[in-house]
């Protein structure tokens, strides 16, 4: 499963894209894996996941064909 990283999430992971291990089936599981792999994510005020270009709830299923993005706190404007 391939994910895109933006903003400070990209800085923390050091990459703009990463390949996740197999077996991650939901947004919640994906967040748990990220926090375990990169404890610095705990410092963020929020950590959202976008699935197919929309904010996704923790219960949402994810598959390898989805477009997945890590969304740290936004700061536009």
Partner 1 sequence: MDVLLKIETDITIQEALDFIHSPACGGEVVFTGKVRNDTKGRSVDKLYYEAYKDMALLEMQKIADDVARQWDIKKIAMLHAVGDKLPGEVAVVVAVSSVHRGIAFDACEYAIDTLKATVPIWKKEFFSDGEVK
Number of H helices, E strands in the chain: 2, 5
Cβ atoms within 10 A of the Cβ of 4, count? 16
Q: Is 29 in the site for partner 1 (CB under 8 A)?
A: no
Question: Rule CB under 8 A: is residue 21 a binding residue for partner 1?
Answer: no
Q: Are 41 and 35 in contact (CB under 8 A)?
A: yes
Regarding 54 and contact with partner 1 (CB under 8 A), the answer is yes
Q: Is 43 in the site for partner 1 (CB under 8 A)?
A: no
**Burial of 19 from C-beta contacts in 10 A (0-12 / 13-18 / 19+):** exposed
Token couple for 20 = 């996740």
Q: Is 45 in the site for partner 1 (CB under 8 A)?
A: no
Among 21, 49, 53, 59, binds partner 1 (CB under 8 A): 53
Is 75 one of the binding residues for partner 1 (CB under 8 A)? yes
Would you tell me which residues interact with partner 1 (CB under 8 A)? 4, 6-8, 50, 53-55, 69, 71-72, 74-77
């Amino acid at each position: 499963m391939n994910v895109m990283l933006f903003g400070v999430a990209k800085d923390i992971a050091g990459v703009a894209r990463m390949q996740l291990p197999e077996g991650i089936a939901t947004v919640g599981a994906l967040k748990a894996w990220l926090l375990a792999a990169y404890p610095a994510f705990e410092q963020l005020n929020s950590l959202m996941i976008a699935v197919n270009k929309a904010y996704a709830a923790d219960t949402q299923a994810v598959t390898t064909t989805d477009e997945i993005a890590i969304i740290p706190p936004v700061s536009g404007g």
